[in-house]
Amino acid sequence: MTETTPQITDSHCHLDFPDFEGRLDEVLASAAAAGVTRMVTICTKLKNEPTVRAIAEAHDPVFYAAGTHPMSAAEEPLVTVEELVALAKHPKFVGIGETGLDYHYTADSAEVQQQSLRTHIAAARETGLPLIIHARAADDDMARILTEEMANGAYSCVMHCFSSSAELARAALDLGFYLSMSGIAAFPKSQELRDIFAAAPVERILVETDAPYLAPPPHRGKRNEPAYTAFTAKVGAEVFGMDYADFAAQTQANFDRLFWKAARYEAAA
């Protein structure tokens, strides 16, 4: 990274996946060269939490979050609020999830997914850490549950890898939540999605990779990695009609506001 490279944060990646085994130092160096100075690696099954935590402990730029992915909700033991609150005591544990609803492949487990989601929301409420939401083919239930739960007590949230409807975007924004742009927003055929982002306040936008998935052009179809957040962020700058450096700075401020624990950790380091 040169001094003129704007700094950004990959707010959602999966560095414990086999794609990165034995390559983490190289991947983090590439990220730094692209201006990606922080990343949040996400644990999707609590049995993998020790592995994900170890990655965060071993690498200064890496923070982590943990939860039960909705597609695994029926196979994994149902997480408890107490378990999540206990994990959140770690200084580099900065978010709850990912959790959510996925009816695309796993609609048959909708009931247990909803139960798991509400548990994660309760933990987000108790810890003050942001909820990290995965939503696919479940817009109506997602908007309903997020809204119902807000009535039970405030919590913060990011709609990770947002690629749902304008209606769900509006419901999330109305609740004070954030939308995260992934490589999908940079795909040529994603103009409708870019329009949804353009209608949102830029103060509520994050950027991410979801690496190793969803690489943005020019790497589409290849393994994604945190460095490629910059390609999505450059598209984001175009969507909002902003200079890249200004958009990068805005997403940094947004990340620091939502993921306050990561911001404080950095300040304390």
Provide the pLDDT confidence category of residue 2 given band limits of 50, 70 and 90.
low
What average pLDDT does the chain have? 97
By C-alpha distance, which of 231, 233, 228, 227 is closest to 26?
227
pTM to 2 decimal places: 0.97
pLDDT above 70 (res 3): no
At 135 the three-state DSSP class reads: strand
Domain boundaries of the chain, sorted by first residue: 8-268
Q: Mind listing the pLDDT tens digit for each residue in 127-181?
A: 999 999 999 999 999 999 999 999 999 999 999 999 999 999 999 999 999 999 9
Q: Is the dihedral of CA 181, 179, 138, 127 positive or negative?
A: positive
The confidence score (pLDDT) of residue 268 equals 78
* DSSP-derived secondary structure letter, 237: H
By C-alpha distance, which of 128, 187, 134, 139 is closest to 161?
134
Residues 6+ apart with CB under 8 A from 195: none
Going across the sheet that includes 93-102, the strands are 8-13, 36-43, 62-66, 93-102, 131-136, 157-159, 178-181, 205-207
The confidence score (pLDDT) of residue 227 equals 98
CA distance 112 to 208: 27
Tell which phi-psi region holds residue 97, choosing left (phi > 0), alpha (psi between -120 and 50) or beta: left
Environment class of 43 (CB within 10 Å of its CB; exposed 0-12, middle 13-18, buried 19+):
buried
Peptide bond into 6 cis (omega under 30): no
pLDDT above 70 (res 1): no
Sole residue written with tokens 């975007």:
169
Contact 160, 12 (CB under 8 A): yes
Q: Which two tokens stand for residue 213?
A: 């998935």
Contact 112, 148 (CB under 8 A): no
Q: What are phi and psi of 16, to 5 degrees?
A: -85, -5
Q: Residue 117: what residue type?
A: L
CA distance 56 to 23: 15
Identify the CATH number of the domain defined by range 8-268. Answer: 3.20.20.140
The confidence score (pLDDT) of residue 267 equals 76
